[in-house]
Chains A and B, each alone.
Chain A
């Protein structure tokens, strides 16, 4: 079954929405508590749409850090999306340039992962739009809720929800690992690199993800030369 309809995209976005809402609420609450003006917080979710860098920005903005430094850190943190859209672009159905401008706007770790781990090789533009739009909407709704919530969510519940997006990534990844020893090897290679870099402790997580992703994918590309797709 080729995922191609807008509705299928919306449905595939549900686990992302569940994961985004508590994080976006936490973002709104944090921004408010450190004194970032509400309109800036709202604009960040509307125009940046990248969780980790938004948290970083509101924390740094109120501690007297140069704006140029915040922008540079954001660039490093989100550079991995370059690799992701490059990969996604190979599987997108033939699409006009305006559509590509639109679809690129909604590429996050989460939307990329859900779209990429679809069984079919070719991905429909309406499907990706539906997926991105649901994720984007809930990220923004959550931000507003966080801003206008009078009291904080109990911290134990909020803490427990921090695992939501990781759980989604695991939910997407395990069936692929089970179906392919090549995928397993690529994942293990990437995780080993990531853990090694983490234990050294002198690279930011943005760089670590980029390097580990490149290493893992390169191991797969070097070892498995035959022309079959890992998606089968």
Chain B
């Protein structure tokens, strides 16, 4: 089983690293068509949206969707006012923790 697991690590390393590497190697000097350039500029925002929703609501376990939802709203409000990201992260953890612990009927 052990040699198989080493093989697994090597394989996982390659299939993870190669997609991370290829665009950086081959797209450096090329002048891209305007459409593709705009497309790539919007990638971060589209990626963030699809990384967060709907998964964030189940990030404290499926049964704790309510505390996670409250924490999500708090984070969105704080971030709207451009509060430092570290504080948004800590607030998210704290709100999830305290709402989960709160003796209320959810």
Taking Cβ atoms with an 8 Å cutoff, the residues of A that contact B are 14-15, 18-19, 36-37, 40, 43-44, 47-50, 53, 57, 61, 67-68, 70-72, 74-75, 78-90, 92, 94-95, 97, 100-101, 103-105, 107, 109, 112-113, 116-117, 156-157, 159-164, 166-178, 182-183, 186-191, 193-195, 198, 205, 208-209, 212-221, 224-225, 227, 229-231
In the complex the two chains form, is B27's CB within 8 Å of A84's CB? no
In the complex the two chains form, is A220's CB within 8 Å of B38's CB? yes
How far apart are B70's CB and chain A's nearest CB, in angstroms? 10
- Which residues of B are found within 8 Å of A68, using beta-carbon distances? 11
Known: A82-B19, A173-B49, A212-B50. A67 touches B4 (CB 8 A): yes
Q: How long is the Cα–Cα vector from A229 to B2 in the complex, in angstroms? A: 50
How far apart are A17's CB and chain B's nearest CB, in angstroms? 10
Across the interface, B43 reaches (CB within 8 A) one of A83, A208, A227, namely: A83
How far apart are A202's CB and chain B's nearest CB, in angstroms? 16
Interface of A is mostly: helix
In the complex the two chains form, is B59's CB within 8 Å of A230's CB? no
In the complex the two chains form, is A221's CB within 8 Å of B35's CB? yes
- B104 sits at the interface (CB 8 A): no
Taking Cβ atoms with an 8 Å cutoff, the residues of B that contact A are 2, 4-13, 15-17, 19-25, 27-28, 32, 34-56, 59-61, 64, 67-68, 71-72, 75-76, 78-80, 82-86, 88-94, 96-97, 100-101
In the complex the two chains form, is A167's CB within 8 Å of B75's CB? yes
In the complex the two chains form, is A78's CB within 8 Å of B60's CB? no
28 of the cross-chain contacts (CB-CB < 8 Å) are A15-B88, A43-B9, A61-B5, A61-B8, A72-B15, A75-B15, A78-B16, A90-B32, A105-B17, A107-B20, A113-B51, A156-B100, A159-B60, A160-B67, A162-B59, A162-B60, A163-B59, A169-B51, A173-B45, A173-B79, A178-B80, A186-B42, A187-B45, A194-B49, A213-B46, A220-B46, A221-B39, A230-B45
